[in-house]
Amino acid sequence: MKTYLLTALSFLSFASIASELDIPHLLDVGNSKAGADLVATCSACHGGKGQSVNSDWPNLAGQNQRYIAEQLKYFQQGDRENALMLAVVPYLKSLSDLQLLDIAAFYSAQVPAVGQAQDDAELLALGKSLYMAGDLSRGIPACTACHSMNGAGNDQAGFPRIAGQQKSYLTSTLKAYRSLERNAGDYSLVMQSASQNLKDKDIEALVNYMHGLYQK
């Protein structure tokens, strides 16, 4: 009984945090053409069209504008830190909020990457189960609640697209949320709660499954 009570409370906590996020009725949108002139510094890692050249670096192509703009702002203000982004922070500090949104618009307009999941039946089954339904007994919510069935995310809420995302980046991100290392913005509270009870094998399975998601 205690196990299910604690589990229920953890899900209520997750739902409460998610419900308190600021979701605007109208999204601010940038100018993708203007953004194209601002991404030369970014392309070294994230590729000319937002598809990164290293699994440690995230694909930005097709990512929603709100998420990208918010993360750039966190880096600019020092709320989010990452060793791979340190060299870019001075450049970000030179940009206005509108220019950050223009960069976000540029990447959002690009064709998303398509990944290929590892063909491992057991790993795929675990990843699909956790992604689609979570695990009530361990207090793990379904990923679909925020990231959608096909991993496209939620543009309005700023929940990121994770379909086709780089495996190493997904792995490090989930572990950073689990350890509470990544804590910038309201969205981090949702992810910290969602990832607390994930084991390394769960993360491996989820990452493999998410990497292979795509929209027909």
More confident residue, 194 or 18: 194
- For 126-151, the pLDDT digits (tens) are 999 999 999 999 999 999 999 999 99
- 2-22+115-212 and 32-108 in the same fold: yes
Nearest Cα neighbor of 196 from 211, 175, 168, 182 is: 175
Q: What mean pLDDT comes out for the span 5-24? A: 51
Calpha distance 67→160 (Å, rounded): 6
Residues 6 or more apart in contact with residue 163 via CB below 8 angstroms: 112, 115, 150, 151, 152, 210, 213, 214, 215
What's the pLDDT band for 28 if we cut at 50, 70, 90? confident
What's the pLDDT band for 27 if we cut at 50, 70, 90? confident
- For 86-124, the pLDDT digits (tens) are 999 999 999 999 999 999 999 999 999 999 999 999 999
Whether 81 shows a pLDDT value over 60: the answer reads yes
- For 149-177, the pLDDT digits (tens) are 999 999 999 999 999 999 999 999 999 99
One-letter amino acid identity for 125?
A: A
- In degrees and rounded to multiples of 5, residue 180 shows phi and psi of 70, 10
Nearest Cα neighbor of 162 from 130, 201, 193 is: 130
Calpha distance 167→55 (Å, rounded): 6
119: left (phi over 0), alpha (psi -120 to 50) or beta: beta
| The CATH homologous superfamily of the domain defined by 32-108 | Cytochrome c-like domain (1.10.760.10)
- Tell me the CB-side half-sphere exposure of residue 116, using CA atoms within 13 A: 1
* CATH 2.40.50.100 assigned to 2-22+115-212: no
**146, 18 in Cβ contact below 8 A?**
yes
> Which tokens hold the place of 161?
């697209």
Report how many helices (DSSP H) and strands (DSSP E) the chain contains, helices first. 11, 0
Helix (H, G, I), strand (E, B) or coil at 145: helix
Q: What are the residue boundaries of the structural domains of the chain, listed by start?
A: 2-22+115-212, 32-108
What's the pLDDT band for 4 if we cut at 50, 70, 90? very low
Q: Is pTM, for the whole model, over 0.85?
A: yes
Q: For the chain, how big is the Rg over CA atoms in Å?
A: 17
Whether 26 shows a pLDDT value over 80: the answer reads no
